[in-house]
Amino acid sequence: MSNDRFTFGTYHICPCCGKEKFITNPGDWAYRRNVQGKYHSSMKLFCSWSCLRKYEADHTPKKTRAYERMD
Protein backbone atom coordinates (compact mmCIF):
# COMPACT_ATOMS: atom_id res chain seq x y z
CA MET A 1 0.00 0.00 0.00
CA SER A 2 1.36 3.39 -0.95
CA ASN A 3 1.39 6.38 1.41
CA ASP A 4 1.09 8.84 -1.48
CA ARG A 5 -2.65 9.32 -0.92
CA PHE A 6 -2.41 10.62 2.65
CA THR A 7 -0.38 13.57 3.86
CA PHE A 8 -0.38 14.21 7.58
CA GLY A 9 0.80 17.45 9.09
CA THR A 10 -0.29 20.94 10.04
CA TYR A 11 0.19 24.49 8.90
CA HIS A 12 2.42 26.67 11.07
CA ILE A 13 2.85 30.43 10.88
CA CYS A 14 6.38 31.82 11.16
CA PRO A 15 6.55 34.16 14.20
CA CYS A 16 9.08 36.39 12.42
CA CYS A 17 7.64 37.04 8.95
CA GLY A 18 4.13 35.56 9.16
CA LYS A 19 4.48 33.09 6.29
CA GLU A 20 2.39 29.94 6.48
CA LYS A 21 4.31 26.68 6.05
CA PHE A 22 3.03 23.08 5.89
CA ILE A 23 5.10 20.89 8.22
CA THR A 24 4.56 17.15 8.39
CA ASN A 25 6.61 16.44 11.52
CA PRO A 26 7.47 19.41 13.78
CA GLY A 27 9.95 17.32 15.78
CA ASP A 28 12.14 16.87 12.71
CA TRP A 29 11.92 20.50 11.56
CA ALA A 30 15.36 22.15 11.50
CA TYR A 31 14.37 25.78 12.11
CA ARG A 32 12.85 25.67 15.61
CA ARG A 33 13.52 26.99 19.09
CA ASN A 34 12.09 26.01 22.44
CA VAL A 35 10.96 29.13 24.25
CA GLN A 36 10.68 29.02 28.03
CA GLY A 37 7.73 30.96 29.38
CA LYS A 38 6.85 31.78 32.95
CA TYR A 39 4.68 28.70 33.45
CA HIS A 40 5.33 26.53 30.39
CA SER A 41 7.58 26.13 27.39
CA SER A 42 6.59 26.13 23.75
CA MET A 43 8.24 25.35 20.44
CA LYS A 44 8.40 28.05 17.78
CA LEU A 45 8.81 26.90 14.18
CA PHE A 46 10.37 29.23 11.60
CA CYS A 47 10.16 29.14 7.80
CA SER A 48 13.87 29.77 7.15
CA TRP A 49 17.28 30.13 8.76
CA SER A 50 17.23 33.91 8.30
CA CYS A 51 13.91 34.21 10.17
CA LEU A 52 15.32 32.10 13.00
CA ARG A 53 18.39 34.32 13.28
CA LYS A 54 16.29 37.52 13.19
CA TYR A 55 14.11 36.16 16.00
CA GLU A 56 17.20 35.22 18.07
CA ALA A 57 18.67 38.70 17.58
CA ASP A 58 15.44 40.38 18.70
CA HIS A 59 14.78 38.03 21.64
CA THR A 60 18.07 37.57 23.42
CA PRO A 61 17.86 35.42 26.57
CA LYS A 62 18.18 37.08 29.94
CA LYS A 63 21.65 37.02 31.41
CA THR A 64 21.89 35.27 34.73
CA ARG A 65 24.51 36.10 37.28
CA ALA A 66 27.16 33.45 37.48
CA TYR A 67 28.23 32.28 40.89
CA GLU A 68 31.56 33.70 41.96
CA ARG A 69 34.25 31.24 42.68
CA MET A 70 35.36 31.00 46.27
CA ASP A 71 39.05 30.19 46.66
Classify each residue of 43-61 as buried b or exposed e, where b means 16 or more C-beta atoms within 10 Å of its C-beta. ebbbbeeebbeebeeeeee
For 44-62, the pLDDT digits (tens) are 999 999 999 999 999 876 6
Q: Delimit the domains of the chain by residue range.
A: 10-58
CB atoms under 10 Å from CB of 33, counted, come to 14
**pTM of the predicted structure, to 2 decimals:** 0.68
For 6-49, the pLDDT digits (tens) are 668 889 899 999 999 898 888 888 898 888 878 888 889 999 99
